[in-house]
Each structure stands twice: as structure tokens, then as C-alpha cells.
Amino acid sequence: MTNKLKYFIGNWKMFGNLQSFAIVNRVNKFAHNLSKKHFKSKIVLCVPSTLIYFFKKKMKSTYISLGAQNCHHYHGDGAFTGSINASMLKNSGSRYIILGHSENRSNGESTSLIKKKIESSLNQNLKVIFCVGETLKEKKLGKTLSIINKQILGSLEKKMSFKNIIIAYEPVWSIGTNKIPTNAEIKKVAIYIKSLCKKRFYSNYTLPVIYGGSVNSKNIKIFSLINDIDGFLIGGASQSSIKFIDIIKNYYK
């Protein structure tokens, strides 16, 4: 285990209500204790937009950050019924935002639309967790790296503020399925993403790459052996403070 900064980012998806503050509170307390040890970690909970402001106000001291899970691409006010823009999320207390999640790509989000959302979020100084990953069919056809190449080159651009971007490698076939790639597969993708971004966008900076897909308190020990990974995007298991905290504890054990 290294002492490099590690991200543990929870993606609550469509889960949670006002009572779920109990989870946030426990995770926040745990993060406080962890910060007293010498581990460099950043803990983020990406919750439904309706809860961000409430959670932010209720936390007395903050050792975690809150994030959102998507936004409308347009930066200003407009006739977009039911939509929320990046500025509104920033204003409600969000510091991070998940964009390009496969659950939204499968609802029709294109790489060019995701690019607009990334630009709009970076303009608000939100930290973007940009998700990429292949489907099972694409994996079987040996297309993992070429799909990731298309997703990255279609949505990122040299002029963007790369210090505010984290790339999450989330194989679609691994999300919520309990199926996970081998460490060698994750390592290969992480190295590929880092070198692609260096070559195409920002040669002096190595972008953080995190892994997401069925991460739990058991497999985290296996994943912790991959030095090229800068953290984890955790879906289902982040909806329980016990499971989420156990993942982080076991990572550092």
C-alpha cells in the first residue's frame, strides 16, 4: 500500500431521503478519525440533488465532500423543465459531479453531450468524475481500449482544466453484478488512460484514474494491490455506512 492520495467516492444513485443523513454523519465521523491517521484519502458522497443542501447544512464540521450525479449541459437559466444545471449544484453545496455514467449513456447521452456537461461543470469549478467503460459485448470483441479511447477523445479537450478531472473506469458489465475484472485488466486500462491523457492533453500531469464496479469490503483487498489506481467509485455499497466504511477500513488494513 502506498501513501498516495486515494479517492473513495460513493454513488448513491436514486437512493436516499432526509433520514439518510445518518449515513452521511457516520461516514463524516469516520473520515475525521481517518484524517488523524496518516492516510491520504478523499471521501466523497454523490447523493441525489434534492439532498445536497440539506446534508451540507446539517454537517457541523466537514471531513467529506458532497457531489451530484449528473446535470443539464446548459450553463444558464432556461426552458428545460425538470433539469438542474451545474451552477445550481455548486450553489447547493456540491463540490464534485459524476458525468458520463453508463446508466445515463444507456439513456442516450452521447460523448458530445457529456463533453458539454463537463465544460459546464468545470466552469463552475466542480470536480468532475468522468466515467468510461466497455460493455460485455465490447469486451468479448477485444474492444475495451478502443471504446475508452473514443469516450475520452469525444468528451475531453486540451483546453479543459485537467486538475479538476478524475476518470472512473467502470466496465458496464461489472456495475451492480458482482462480476469484476482481474487486477491485470484494471491495471492495463488505468495505464492506458493515463498515458493517453498525457499524450493528447497534458504532458506534465498524471490524471487520477479510479475503478468502479461491484466494489465491496472483500474484493477491496485484492484491488488494493493495484498501485496504478487512485481510488474507487462505489455504488450499491455506499448506500450503507457500514459497508462503505468497511471498504475503506479494509483498504488500509
Residues, the chain: 253
Q: Which of 69, 94, 214, 224 binds ligand PGA (CB under 6 A)?
A: 214
Nearest distance from C-beta of residue 234 to ligand PGA, angstroms: 5
H helix runs in 78-182, sequence order? 86-92, 102-105, 111-123, 136-140, 144-155
- Residue 215 binds ligand PGA, judged by CB under 6 A: yes
Tell me if residue 170 is catalytic: yes
Cα separation of 242 and 240, whole Å?
5
Choice between 231 and 236, CB closer to ligand PGA:
236
Instruction: Identify the three-state secondary structure at position 132.
Output: strand
Taking CB positions, which residue lies at the least distance from ligand PGA? Answer: 235
- Residue 231 binds ligand PGA, judged by CB under 6 A: no
CA atoms within 13 A on the CB side of 187: 9
Cα separation of 110 and 96, whole Å?
21
CB atoms within 10 A of CB 67: 25
- Residue 181 binds ligand PGA, judged by CB under 6 A: no
Choice between 65 and 87, CB closer to ligand PGA:
65
Cα separation of 118 and 143, whole Å?
25
Stretch in the footprint of ligand PGA (CB under 6 A) among 107-115, 157-165, 197-205, 213-221: 213-221
Choice between 66 and 237, CB closer to ligand PGA:
237
Choice between 102 and 120, CB closer to ligand PGA:
102
Angle between helix 49-58 and helix 21-36 axes, rounded to 10 deg: 60
Query: Do residues 67 and 46 lie in contact, with contact meaning Cβ atoms separated by under 8 Å?
Result: yes
Give residue 120's identity as a one-letter amino acid code. S
Counting residues that bind ligand PGA (by CB under 6 A) gives: 13
Cα separation of 166 and 126, whole Å?
11
Q: Which of 51, 113, 122, 233 binds ligand PGA (CB under 6 A)?
A: 233
Determine the straight-line distance between the first and last CA of the chain, rounded to whole angstroms. Answer: 9
Nearest distance from C-beta of residue 126 to ligand PGA, angstroms: 17
- Residue 70 binds ligand PGA, judged by CB under 6 A: no
Choice among 72, 101, 119, 134 that is catalytic: 101
Name which of residues 118 to 177 contact ligand PGA (CB under 6 A). 170, 175-176
Tell me if residue 109 is catalytic: no
Active centre residues (catalytic): 101, 170
Q: Would you tell me which residues interact with ligand PGA (CB under 6 A)?
A: 11, 170, 175-176, 212-215, 233-237
